[in-house]
Amino acid sequence: EVQLVESGGGLVQPGRSLRLSCAASGFTFDDYAMYWVRQAPGKGLEWVSGISWNSNNIRYADSVKGRFTISRDNAKNSLYLQMNSLRTEDTAFYYCAKDGWELTLKFYFDYWGRGTLVTVSS
Amino acid sequence: EIVLTQSPGTLSLSPGERATLSCRASQSVTSSYLAWYQQKPGQAPRLLISSASSRATGIPDRFSGSGSGTDFTLTISRLEPEDFALYYCQQYGSSPPTFGQGTKLEIK
């Protein structure tokens, strides 16, 4: 059974940093691209970032480019999101998601974690 | 970027009825790379359909997707009580991937 478990969310002041983690199990982690997708409370879904199986191809939404860094550790079956210079508009549930296709960045998401809430507020 | 517009915003139906949800793209979606997700309160989204019409693993056959180009449809043939939820479409044929604003399917 595929499981994705996010952690690291919390309350942080504007301008500060936070690092999210996602622990994956139930599939061959290093065969798949992985993503972060966020959802502001009561709002719709927004793709944030994606990383290929071998970390050679990384993409960001314009709204986070230059502030967020995605990474992965295939030996630990883990995905990360380093979030710097946080803004109030970054407040959202952050979901870790798995690509639906093997060995490529296809940008659709066949399994999701339950999410972790990041609140940016003074 | 491609803007997806879902309609209606809210759909009120009864169990056993047929639901038709629409997703319209501002530009043609490459290779019909269009997905549908279901989200219930307090839960993560769940993939229903990919490539416009391919059901995901474990999804009942009362869910079907169709369409191409700029117009796509999710149909639920006979609504079950557990189908009342939020539904999002998403295109992944062009970068960045984008989502529609959602259709809320509520019990009439």
**Alpha-carbon gap, residue B59 to B43, rounded angstroms:** 17
Query: What rounded mean pLDDT belongs to chain B?
Result: 97
pLDDT category at B13 given cuts 50, 70, 90 is very high
Q: How far is A106 from chain B (nearest CA, A)?
A: 7
pLDDT category at B86 given cuts 50, 70, 90 is very high
Contacts of B102 in chain A (CB under 8 A): 44
pLDDT at A26: 97
Contact call for A44 and B95, based on CB within 8 A: no
Contacts of A114 in chain B (CB under 8 A): 43-44
Rg (CA), chain A: 13
pLDDT in tens, chain A (122 residues): 999 999 999 999 999 999 999 999 999 999 999 999 999 999 999 999 999 999 999 999 999 999 999 999 999 999 999 999 999 999 999 999 999 999 888 999 999 999 999 999 99
For residue B33, report the phi and psi dihedrals to the nearest 5 degrees.
Answer: -80, 80
pLDDT category at B101 given cuts 50, 70, 90 is very high
Q: For B43-80, how does the pLDDT look when each residue is reduced to its tens digit (9 = 90+)?
A: 999 999 999 999 999 999 999 999 999 999 999 999 99
Residues in a beta bridge with A118:
A10, A92
Lateral strand order in the sheet of A78-83:
A3-7, A18-25, A78-83, A68-73
Residue B8: cis peptide before it, omega within 30 degrees of 0:
yes
